[in-house]
Structures are given as C-alpha cells and as structure tokens.
Amino acid sequence: MKLVAMLLILTGVLTAVTACSEESLDPVVTQRTSPPPPPPAPSVVSAETTSGVSLTGREVFVDLADAEGLGPFEFGPKDFSFTVGETIKFVFESESQLHTFTVEDLDIDVAVPGLEVVEFGYTFDKPGEYELICIPHLALGMVGVITVN
C-alpha cells in the first residue's frame, strides 16, 4: 500500500510539473509594427537657384550609370574639358540610384535621384584640374576629372 501511495504522489507531482512546464512553453505572442517609412528623397534645387547661372550654353549630357544598382558605378563620360569663361548646361540622368555630381573645389554639388533627369548650369571661371566624385559611390570608384584651360 505504501508503494501505491508513493506512486500516486509521484504521479501527481509529475503531472503538476508537466502542467507548469507546458504553460511556460506557450509561445509569447508579440505584435509586429510596420517598419518606419523611408526618409524622403533629397530635394534637388533647380540649377538656376543653385549656381546662379541660367540654363543656357553648351549642353553636356552626363550618364550616372550603376547597372541597376549592381555596378560598375561610373560617370559617362568621366573626364571633362572646358575653357575659362565657358558656360555649360549639364544634363544629368541617373540610371537607378541617387547619385551626386560633386566638385568640392568649385562648390558644385548636384543630387540626382534615381530614374530622374536634372539640369544644372555652371560657368567655369578659373583654370585647373578638379576632382569629380559621386559622394554615395566614391568608395566604389565613381570618380572623374574636370579640366578647365
């Protein structure tokens, strides 16, 4: 009889432990919230406001290529040659990603959102050789040179 009583007690204890264990194994349900919306695309200021130069002059088309984001990332063309006093109307076309046409020494910094065309006027007033970069893709080799004679 003692053995039966001990088995009954042991069975009761195991049942209680199992019940408690099963409760702790219930999955915790959490509600997922939607991810925050992406930041707004940088605004592109019109070239006339940015440079103070009207959009007249020789047109130079610049492809901002990125092979649909896979690379290579490059300016097309990547090297430019102008003369002092020449006014250029740049027409930038971005393939799929945000690019910049940045020449720090000339205070040129034009943002071109993906799949957009942006025009920018500039008059070159000092001779020299200037580094051209795309800020977001500099590490990927998106560079060029502007030479002003």
Stretch 38-59: mean pLDDT = 51
CA separation, residue 84 to residues 80, 90, 124 (Å): 13, 16, 5
Highest mean pLDDT among 25-34, 53-62, 66-75, 140-149: 140-149
CA separation, residue 104 to residues 46, 73, 91, 109, 131 (Å): 19, 20, 19, 7, 8
Domain boundaries, the chain: 47-148
Instruction: Specify the CATH number of the domain 47-148.
Output: 2.60.40.420
Query: What letter does residue 30 receive in the DSSP assignment?
Result: -
Q: What is the pLDDT of residue 8?
A: 52
